[in-house]
Every structure is written in C-alpha cells, then in structure tokens.
Amino acid sequence: MLQNIKELYGNRMAATDGDIGHVRDFYFDDQSWAIRYVVVNTGSWLTGRLVLLSPHAFGQLDRNDQVLLVHLTRKQIEASPAIGSHRPVSRQFEQEYYDHYGWPPYWLGGGTWGADAYPVPIAAPSSVSTAHHGHNQRDDVHLRSTKDLMGYTIHATDGRIGTVSGFRIDDRSWVIGELAVAAGPWYANREILLPTAQVASICYEDSEVYVNVAKADLQRAPEQGVVHAGA
C-alpha cells in the first residue's frame, strides 16, 4: 500500500526501551527511489544529534498512534556512527553504519535491498563493531533528501506541469512509487500523481524534474480530484 510521506514528518520514533526523537527527513536513492534512511532528530536525548535509521530497523512500515517503532535499543542507536546535517552521505559512513548494526549492505546484490526486494527486519546484535576499515571516502551522490526535492519544478515532454508537493511510498519495500504534483491553475489546482518510473532526469542545480509524459495527455485525463498519470 502506498502512503503519503508527508504524513510521517514529525512522527515520534520509539526504540524497544523508550522514545528516541521524531522524523525529520528521509534520504532516498534517486536511481532506485528506495528510502535508504529515516533522519531522526533526537532532541535533548542526544543533544540535538541527527541519527540515520535504515528500514532494516523497521521492516514493514507500521504506525501505531503516530509512532514509528524501531527494533533497536536506545543504547544501540546511541553507539551508532554519527552523521552531520550535510549531504551527500559518504560510502565510508554507510559501510561503518552497516557494519555497526550487522545488516546486509543494500549496494551489494541485484535487488533493491541488496539480495532482497524488501528490507529485512533484522535486530542489531547486543555487541556491535565500531572498527574502521578504511573504505573509499567518495560521497554517494544518489542519496537525496525528500524535503530538498519539495517544490522542484516538473516538466512534461511538452511543457511545465507544476511542482513536487509530496511522495507516496510502498509500506513494505520503502520505495517511492509516485510523486505528488501541485498542477496549479492550468489544471484547476488539482494534484497529479506521477509514477516515479516516468521520471527521466532530475537537475539539482536548477531544481527541475523531467518526466516522460505529455502535458496534453494529462489534460485529456478524466475529470477527478487526483489524476494517476499513465493509468
């Protein structure tokens, strides 16, 4: 089932032994459109430190009373590698992070999540490694912030459609399946849902998204409040 990611911003996060903060942002892979990390604002618990949590810590997305439950303890999270507020995230950090929790790296294997199509809900062991292995320092330029992409202009093959207004993710695979688009006056200010498979390219320098769908086709779509392009 697809869920609106905007409904998750600000939700409380809870480990197995207490609250850890709230959802601040999501980092996604702009090639596979998979959510790789939930960015957690830990507030006063870790003195405002940001923490990244992989969907491996959740398994299937499950909200209970606006709380996201994490299959980790506060101690395990506190001991995890620290991340700054800047992006992109380095592959060195990711390797140390996955080593720390003992999770299978998503970048190894042919599936969206490495060898699998879904994130495996694996609880980290009580004793975790903090060894440094000297991995490549390069930044992973494909990891992007969902909040940063909000407001980007979307261009169809024959004209401007509108701006990115949201994201809809699969609650099992954690893959962004659709972009929500605020179409503006040309389409009665309605919202269009565009499958991410139709995204041709993203220009981060100019804050623009290009999609393989014609504006004219959207104008011929049935009259309704939400249009699923390509349906």
Highest mean pLDDT among 35-44, 102-111, 184-193, 200-209: 200-209
**pLDDT above 70 for 124:** no
pLDDT category of residue 89 using cuts at 50, 70 and 90 = confident
Per residue in 148-159, pLDDT tens?
A: 999 999 999 988
As a whole number, mean pLDDT of residues 167-176 equals 92
Q: Which stretches of the chain are DSSP H helices? A: 74-78, 91-101, 146-149, 215-219
**pLDDT above 70 for 133:** no
**pLDDT above 80 for 70:** yes
**pLDDT above 70 for 86:** no
Phi, psi angles (nearest 5°) of residue 122? -105, 120
What is the C-alpha to C-alpha distance for residues 176 and 34, in angstroms, rounded to an integer? 6
**Can you give the pTM of this predicted structure?**
0.84
Degrees (nearest 5) of the Cα angle 132, 137, 138?
Answer: 150
**pLDDT above 50 for 130:** no
**pLDDT above 90 for 146:** yes
**pLDDT above 70 for 87:** no
> Parallel, antiparallel, or unpaired: how do β-strands 176-182 and 143-145 relate?
unpaired
pLDDT category of residue 103 using cuts at 50, 70 and 90 = confident
Q: If residue 164 lies in a helix (H) or strand (E), which one and from where to where?
A: strand 159-170
What is the C-alpha to C-alpha distance for residues 151 and 230, in angstroms, rounded to an integer? 22
Residue 208 in tokens:
């623009």
Q: What are the structural domains of the chain?
A: 2-144 (2.30.30.240), 150-228 (2.30.30.240)
Q: Cβ–Cβ contacts within 10 Å for residue 225, how many? A: 7
- Mean of the per-residue pLDDT values for the chain? 82
Low-confidence winner among 36-40, 126-130, 198-202 (lowest mean pLDDT): 126-130
Strand partners, 192: 181, 227
